[in-house]
Amino acid sequence: MPGQIDPETLHADDLPTIWSPVQAPIEAGERARELEEQATASLLWSSDAPEAILRHLLGETGIARAFDPPERYDPAVQGEWDTSLVTFQFARPIRLIQEERGPDRLALEYKLEGAGFWRLEFTPESVSIRKV
């Protein structure tokens, strides 16, 4: 039903969020500008919605180049790592520690490097976010 949160359809997993821009032939200056403008937004778009919400609220949207696969990278799910692609990751890793699903309820606990543990709870009528 529109206007209600459906906790049963919120996706969350423990895979690290990465993003690679479309590789197209463009001039070096234009390429650098495009990367700067699109990298953060595209990386957030690639994130699970609960992680993106938490990152926005905590101001943890800084990014960094990823030259090697991040910890917990799963090539079977995320594809083989390609060192020829420009790839980004969040500057401070976040990890899904616990997931509890029930009828009309989803509770997620994340560990944000350097910022502790955070719990997000979703029901059809509410969202709760707190540091634990």
Amino acid 1: pLDDT: 45
Q: Which range is least confidently modeled, 10-14, 81-85, 92-96?
A: 10-14
Q: Which run of H or of E encompasses 34?
A: helix 28-46
The predicted structure's pLDDT at residue 118:
96
- Structure tokens that stand for 47 in this block: 């994130």
Mean of pLDDT values over 78-96: 92
Give the CA distances from residue 99 to residues 26, 45, 52, in Å, rounded to whole numbers and listed in that order: 43, 21, 16
On whether the CB atoms of residues 66 and 43 are closer than 8 A, the answer is no
The domain locations on the chain are 7-131
The pLDDT tens digits of the residues spanning 26-79 come to 788 887 777 767 888 889 999 999 999 999 999 899 889 899 999 999 999 999
Residue-wise pLDDT for 5-29, tens only, equals 788 888 888 888 877 665 667 788 8
